[in-house]
Structure 1
């Protein structure tokens, strides 16, 4: 029975099932890697390609519903913003676990690591080197994405595009610096609790930077083709919130892991 509702009743879609299959392929490759049987580079490449294609067609459908079919009513838009807020809250809880582990291990070092922090044999990275540069880069990206947002609100689409391009460039530069930093590190993921926490926390943050870059990249394409306007840009606003969240997490990582953790 049909009824009037301010919300879009989503049609059936095969993409969630295909997403589960793509995720299963990635986990299968990872388990094979852990158990030494390997999974094959082709399996990983296929799983990643499948996931990228899936994201494209799924987001294409969402964009079509929002921009072309007009299904994203004000009620739907508010719910999308609430959903993004709760997603960011869940991400805060995710990173909270890393910080809890770091401070627990550093404030109460066990005998296995020499009862000192950093552990015996660990040479921490210089906090005023690449980490400080990365901090400046991410803070700069927060400024440029805010500039882009306000330009869009004022109807200055050229400024919005330029600011977003700068933000993407800074995000890519941050990722390249992170890769360079990992290459120069004298310790690895297997080097005591310090190495595990360092690479897990900064690695997951780096992954979030990549996700945020894709999020902003999609927004740039939509802005270029005229999907976004001063009063209708919920997807872009969610991307901006996510990017600011990534900025804040990095500040905590820099102060805790790089600066305080190296003393």
Structure 2
């Protein structure tokens, strides 16, 4: 089949009123992953209620986590901006938004690794340490998967695979990235803010 014939085929584009199977598949994946994080955060709150404030060995330092939160939020804004570029047929905007999203995602992971090294507790030192490192570790794995997705659609964007009509893969990757950011907000509030508000 020629490339021209392939481009003429009707493809799921994720337009309003019609969502591709990939879009629904990603929504299903997000729902199952949201359940995982809900269970992990429930475990944290269960231990806090059961053991009280003394269960938390130290008030978490936000020196790295607060700017890291801003970095992840900005990455989501740029991915959204790139997606809007795809919808409007602006390949340079779409590629730049995705590229900045990838770079900010990598920066987030590097800063998170530095923060892990600074902790006075470990994965095996206490139930709090286990809760912290398992929850943030699962999130880090999701960030890594999201960065890989964004990098793939960035490569496809640079190759000209997307236009105003055909960009379902980009939209699907963007949904996942926004989910990853939303999960981090819940983790940040749980581990870094609630110990400060009692």
The normalised TM-score by structure 1 is 0.67
CA distance in 1, matches of 2:12, 2:113: 42
Larger Rg: 1
Q: Return closer, same or farther for 1:149/1:74 CA change in 2, 3 Å cut-off.
A: closer
Flag structure 2 segments of 5+ consecutive residues without an equivalent.
Answer: none
CA distance in 2, matches of 1:154, 1:73: 17
Q: Which of 61, 69, 72 does residue 126 from structure 1 map onto?
A: 61
Q: What is the number of residues matched between the two proteins? A: 190
Q: How much does 1:230 deviate?
A: 1.2
CA distance in 2, matches of 1:230, 1:72: 13
Flag structure 1 segments of 5+ consecutive residues without an equivalent.
Answer: 1-63, 110-115
Q: Secondary structure at the match of 1:226?
A: coil
User: Residues 60 and 191 of structure 2 are in contact (CA less than 8 Å); yes or no, is this contact kept in structure 1?
Assistant: no
Aligned 1:225-244 pairs, distance under 5 A: 225-244=159-178
CA distance in 2, matches of 1:212, 1:69: 30
The normalised TM-score by structure 2 is 0.88
Q: How much does 1:125 deviate?
A: 2.6
Residue matched to 2:86: 152
Kindly indicate whether residue 111 of structure 2 is the aligned counterpart of residue 169 of structure 1.
no
Q: Return closer, same or farther for 1:74/1:227 CA change in 2, 3 Å cut-off.
A: closer
CA distance in 2, matches of 1:103, 1:73: 42
Q: How much does 1:155 deviate?
A: 1.3
CA distance in 1, matches of 2:163, 2:61: 44
Question: RMSD between aligned alpha carbons?
Answer: 2.2
Residue matched to 1:205: 139
Residue matched to 1:108: 50
